[in-house]
Structure 1
Amino acid sequence: MRTVKILSACGTGVATSTVAAETCRRLLAERGIPSVDITECKAIEIVARAEMINPDLIIHTAEVPLDKLKDYKCFRVLEFITGFGAEEVADQIADYIKATVKD
């Protein structure tokens, strides 16, 4: 499987998106998806960044304009911050990747 491109967004594009990205990377590796490239950004930058990098999916912890991101699969991942329900969300993301991301 090729490297999966993920865009991670939070309110400021610093701490929370980093925690979400690292948690996502670890949980996906545990599910057999070891190669991910995660770019972090602020929620207000997400539409422009998505258009620039064309990610396979987006993870976010802040409100984002989903109506402007219809071309991308988006996952709200507050569970990656709290820890409660993180495994289930990771399963959903891994299932999506395995079904849609091809070489």
Structure 2
Amino acid sequence: MKKILVACGAGIATSTVVTNKVEELIKENNIQATVEQCKIAEVKSKQSDADLIVSTTILPTTYDIPAIVATAYITGIGMDKLDQKILDELTK
């Protein structure tokens, strides 16, 4: 079972949109994963239990696990490429 952290500045608005998109993506592709919404400031302390970070904001630091900036889900531009990038990380 994979674990995905979805983070934005406050852990409320844009991360909710991205969480819904990621949950839909993993369901459509039969990937066993859980999605946890959080603030970007919390990611560093939560990364040890996770497999992937999907962020709606610029990452303030580097992490021990792969991190993807998901602004395409907010803008609507390049969503297919973002979907594939997330799937590639989850199926490694």
Q: Is the 8 A contact 2:52 2:89 kept in 1?
A: no
Provide the residue aligned with 1:61 in structure 2: 56
TM-score by length of 1: 0.79
User: Percentage identity across aligned positions?
Assistant: 33
- In structure 2, C-alpha distance between the alignment counterparts of 1:66 and 1:31, rounded to whole Å: 30
Q: Give the aligned residue type for 2:83.
A: A
**Unaligned 5+ residue runs, structure 1?**
none
Give the 5 Å matches for 1:13-52.
13-33=11-31, 35-51=32-48
- In structure 2, C-alpha distance between the alignment counterparts of 1:29 and 1:83, rounded to whole Å: 20
CA RMSD of aligned residues (A): 1.5
Structure number with bigger Rg: 1
**Unaligned 5+ residue runs, structure 2?**
none
